[in-house]
Structure 1
Amino acid sequence: MSIEIVFPVGLWDELNRHLLRAPKDGSDHLVDEQMAFVIAGINRSDSRIRILAHEIHTAKPEHLFRQSPAAIAPRMEYVASMLARCRRDGWSLIEVHSHPFASGRGTTFSSIDWRNDRRTMPPTSGFLPDVAMYASMVIGQESLDAHVYERSTNSIVPVTNIYVLGRGANNRAITSIPTTSGFNGNYHAGSVEERHQRQELLFGGEGQRMLSRAAIAVVGLGGLGSFVALELAYLGIGRLVLIDPDCVEKSNLNRLMGAKSTDIGRKKVEVYRDLIGAIAPGTQIAAVDSSIASEEALNYAKDCDLLMGCVDNHGARLILNHLAIRYLLPLIDAGTGIRLSGVKRSFAMGGQVHVVIPGTGCLECRGFIDASKAAFELAPPDIRGYEREHGYGTQQVAPSVVFLNGVVASLQVAEIAYLLNLSELIPVIPLNIYDAIKRNVIAVSIKDYKACPTCGVDGVQGVGDLAPIHVPIASAGKPPPSIAR
């Protein structure tokens, strides 16, 4: 099982500014090693463990017992304060120090570092909550290394990769940094399948291999999601998790790409599992025939690298937004709409594609989730029934056409290619709005909202399994409390 550490770019930049500071006088003199602690959440799944950076605590001179260009040691009371915080609130802890003299590849722990970690990591880990982890990192000028103490085996095991989410100094939206200890020479090896050679001309061999290593959850297999799932298969994504609780109905056949009349009554996830298996036999497929609100679907989704939101309601979109922020998973969310008005048949038609990279805002602070509608859609069945009896939550069936879904779905899939391959050349746009009447796409820049209760400074970014998403499925008491405004 691999172990990885994930940082939003803001925290990563803060950490590196502290650890790799230049001499104050601008000279070439050696600078002292620096230290910091990272408070972190955990994302445990069947395939890997991800340690999720939540906040940075930089060590100041008064926190250190010893500091020089070749060594650093914190005061015990400083370490104790970090451990007390983690024990009280359930956090994991990463101890980070710099090797400012280390340049090029191969930065790793010194013999002194190893001796200290073998001596201190077992007892220090014992002060953390049972589900928490204790990790150590060393960062040089151009490379780094990291390992964690594993209580079950009483051993120190390597971290394989550090992921940085958000556009940093290298202009990439998602940066994967292999650790020195976890680096696998075969990671960049292997030929590209002949079927993808025309794509390789754009992405390059390593770019296409990145797609083949990616795991993506497609949530919702309606008019949008059916296009998205098939396009991702053609693109060469290595693992797809398909999440949808519904069956194919006759009224779906005007917009479910690839579905046939013989599929009526079948689970959508089964239909698209079979279609993708025929299109791309090498793709790993997990078909989850339940709502994204279910524990099963949430567990599958948090095990992926990216989320594709193809849902048609605010409740599911709220869950996806929280999955993205809590588990540091990039989310590409899309929607389409047609609004008819008046007797002259005037109408608006279009859609939007949101790119949510944790640390750069979310759907809630952008104003694209209606809290009242989300509360209704996520309420237990008895509350929804009560609200409908009193006139809330009733709405007409909306128009839906295949060509509109196709355009917006392709814009959504294009963002995957940009994020994984081309973000150095094509900047990430938080919001793209498609106007089908004027036939244009408008790129909109949006600033994040620091006071957002979800992604803001005091929000739930990076909490992971410490505060898992839970949607109640039953309620008690009569009458239920009203959620209508």
Structure 2
Amino acid sequence: MIQLVFGPGDFERLRHDIWHTTLESAAILLCEPDKLGEDWRLAVREMHVVPDDQYEVRTAVSIRLNPTFGLPIEKKASLKGWSLVYCHTHPHQTASATFSPVDDNAEVALAEYANRRSPSVPHCALLFAKESHAARVLGSQEIVTVGQDDAGTDYDRQIRAFGSDGQVKLERLRVAVVGTGGTGSVVTQQLAYLGVRNFLLIDPDTVERTNLNRTVGATPRDIGNAKVAVAQRLIHSLRPDATVQSLVADVVDEAIAKELTAVDFIFCCTDSHASRHLINQVSYQYGIPAIDMGVAIDATGAAVRFAGHVKGLTAQEPCLWCLGQLDSRQVREEMMTVEQEKADPYFLGRSGVVQPAVISINSTVASAAVTMFLSIITGLDAPARYLVYDGNRQRLASVVAQKDPNCVFCGPNSAAGAGDTQPLPVRRNG
């Protein structure tokens, strides 16, 4: 079975925009394919209605498009491995929408062309009549079902908060979560609940017994399993159709760091200075928004002190170096390979201090981070980009911070915006 899935309101908008009362009209859709066993789910990502000046021929019963209209759309499908859906109308068809013999003949060559441009995925034809529609696999009689994404039902309550357009934006993002333990597992769970469907998970560690009190989704049976595997299972339990790439690796390694440059948003849920430095650099160098978060619990005194922070990293905001939140010595040491550590006479070894951790405190900070993410992506009215949590006073406060105009990491003379033209600060093994 092949299902063509529209975002909330998109199907009605397409019907409205493509329709002409007397002349045939056309559109080309770009769809992200997802293979589920023997079935396909084609999620509509772009809708391109043909403007009036792009028809070479247009009558009540036939159309021919200017080839230059479709070429960039078809090229994008080829590059991304996406499906093409060719839409047209029968403005005078009052009965059920039915493809004509002319349609049958035209689709043979069109199907051959589409399969050549973007092979291994299905391509479709969608027909609109006055009161109905029909869809099929391009060049065949195989029926394609047409529906609306379940965001219209599963996410109704949050759509009322930030709108259907915001929901569609969430579903189109590819989000990286670096560190899937304490705060990262909470972030991952909340993103899945919100409807994010494309994840990159990065964490080198496995589940230990001491992690079970704060890693959402982990059970005693997971001891020894990769943390990213637990997070992936959690996502699929909430969002079975989600795409998840899980990497049991350290983000500062060169090949893994490069993976981050292909996402739309990054959550930094790791406490190492090297990984936070790397994510800070990726964010500004590639223009990818990110959120850094952290929790600190001090149980050495008579009273336990606990606090946290959430920091948005975007072009307009000061970076972690501007705020003095990174230590260059720690970055240098954490970037070392084992061989470099042994060869460095100033390297004193890792401290290995076990830090306290409480799930409710992690969840408070992680929830604030996800709400900030919603503000950045959907426009939810929560403009603060730097939050400090004073746990003992139960206070979450917005902090105003200024960019350092001379910052070598995000300032005008830095690699900010340079993309692939500048190297990333990574650990190069070998």
TM range (shorter): 0.5 to 0.7
Please state whether the residue corresponding to 1:404 is helix, strand or coil.
helix
CA contact (8 A) 1:290 1:296 kept: no
| More divergent stretch after superposition (278-287 vs 306-315) | 278-287
1:316 aligned residue: 275
Choose which of 171, 192, 197 in structure 2 pairs with 1:238.
197
Counterpart of 2:309 (choices 324, 341, 352) is 352
Once the 2 structures are TM-superposed, how far is the Cα of residue 386 of structure 1 from its aligned partner? 5.9
User: 2-side partners of 1:472 and 1:207: how far apart?
Assistant: 37
Q: Structure 2 matches for 1:280-295, cutoff 5 A?
A: 280-295=239-254
- Output one character per residue of 1:361-384: Cα deviation in whole Å (capped at 9) or x when no partner: 211111111111111111121333
- The one-letter code sitting in structure 2 at the alignment partner of 1:435 is D
Query: 2 CA distance for matches of 1:369 and 1:190?
Result: 46
Assess, with a 3 A threshold, how the Cα gap between structure 1 residues 390 and 290 changes in structure 2: closer, same or farther.
closer
Q: CA deviation at 1:447?
A: 1.0
Q: Deviations over 1:330-350 (max 9, x none)?
A: 1101000101233xx223201
Q: Could you tell me the percent identity over the aligned residues?
A: 30
1:465 aligns with 2:420: yes
Amino acid corresponding to residue 329 of structure 2 in structure 1: S
1:238-317 aligned at under 5 Å gives the runs 238-317=197-276
**Cα deviation code 1:259-279 (max 9, x no counterpart):** 011111111111211221111
Structure 2 SS opposite 1:204: helix
Q: Which runs of 5+ in 1 are unaligned?
A: 1-46, 48-105, 109-146, 154-185, 476-485
Which is further off, 292-301 or 312-321? 292-301
Structure 1 CA distance, aligned partners of 2:176 and 2:405? 28
What is the DSSP-based 3-state SS (H/G/I as helix, E as strand, rest coil) of the residue aligned with 2:414?
Answer: coil
- 5 Å-filtered alignment, 1:81-480, equals 191=149, 192-342=151-301, 345-385=302-342, 391=348, 393-423=350-380, 425-427=381-383, 429-474=384-429
Distance 1:461 1:250, change over 3 A: same
Q: Secondary structure at the match of 1:465?
A: helix
Tell me the secondary structure at the aligned position of residue 266 of structure 2: strand
SS at 2:216's partner residue? coil
**How far, CA to CA, are the matches of 2:164 and 2:261 in structure 1?**
28
TM-score normalized with structure 2 length: 0.63
Give the CA deviation at 1:304: 0.8
Superposed CA deviations along residues 144-173 of structure 1, whole A, max 9, x for unmatched, are xxx9xx9xx9xxxxxxxxxxxxxxxxxxxx
| C-alpha spacing 1:298/1:474, structure 2 compared with 1 (3 Å) | closer
C-alpha change, 1:449 and 1:248, in structure 2 (3 Å) is same
Q: Aligned AA for 1:369?
A: L
Q: Secondary structure at the match of 2:366?
A: helix
Query: Does the CA contact (< 8 Å) of 2:207 and 2:222 recur in 1?
Result: yes
Structure 1 residues 456, 282: closer, same or farther in 2, change over 3 A?
Answer: same
State the alpha-carbon separation in 2 of the partners of residues 382 and 298 from structure 1: 21
Q: 1:301, CA displacement in angstroms? A: 1.4
Q: Distance in 2 between matches of 1:306 and 1:231?
A: 15
**Cα pair distance change 1:193/1:381, threshold 3 Å:** farther
Whether the aligned pair in 2 keeps the contact of 1:388 and 1:394 (CA below 8 Å) is: no
Whole-angstrom CA distance in 2 between matches of 1:255 and 1:432: 22
Instruction: Work out the CA distance in 1 between the residues paired with 2:247 and 2:152.
Output: 28
Query: CA distance change for structure 1 residues 466 and 385 in 2, over 3 Å: closer, same or farther?
Result: same
Shift of residue 417, structure 1, vs aligned partner: 0.8
Residues 431 and 190 from structure 1, CA distance in 2 versus in 1: closer, same or farther, beyond 3 angstroms? same
Structure with larger Rg: 2
**Which SS does the other structure have where 2:155 is aligned?**
helix
Is residue 223–residue 255 contact of structure 1 (8 Å, CA) maintained in 2? yes
Contact 1:361 1:449 in 2 (8 A): yes
Residue type at the aligned position of 1:456: G
Structure 1 residues 102-127: Cα deviation after superposition (integer angstroms, max 9, x where no partner): xxxx9x9xxxxxxxxxxxxxxxxxxx
Per-residue CA deviation, residues 411-430 of structure 1 (Å, 9 max, x unaligned), is 1111111111125x332x23
| Distance in 1 between residues matched to 2:374 and 2:347, nearest whole Å | 46
Mapped partners of 2:179, 2:411: distance in 1: 27
Structure 2 unaligned residues grouped into runs of 5+: 1-31, 33-50, 54-71, 79-125, 127-146
Q: Distance in 1 between matches of 2:230 and 2:401?
A: 37
**How much does 1:290 deviate?**
0.9
Tell me the TM-score normalized by structure 1: 0.56
CA distance in 2, matches of 1:402, 1:385: 36
Mapped contact 1:355–1:431 kept (Cα < 8 A)? yes
Measured in 2, the distance between the counterparts of 1:307 and 1:454 equals: 18
SS at match of 2:389: strand
- Secondary structure (helix, strand or coil) at the match of 1:341 reads coil
**SS of the residue aligned with 2:167?**
helix
| Counterparts of 1:474 and 1:298, CA distance in 2 | 13
Query: RMSD across aligned C-alpha pairs, in angstroms?
Result: 2.5
Alpha-carbon separation, structure 2, partners of 1:212 and 1:351? 29
Cα 1:278–1:388 change in 2 (3 A) is farther
Task: For 2:220, give the aligned amino acid.
Answer: S
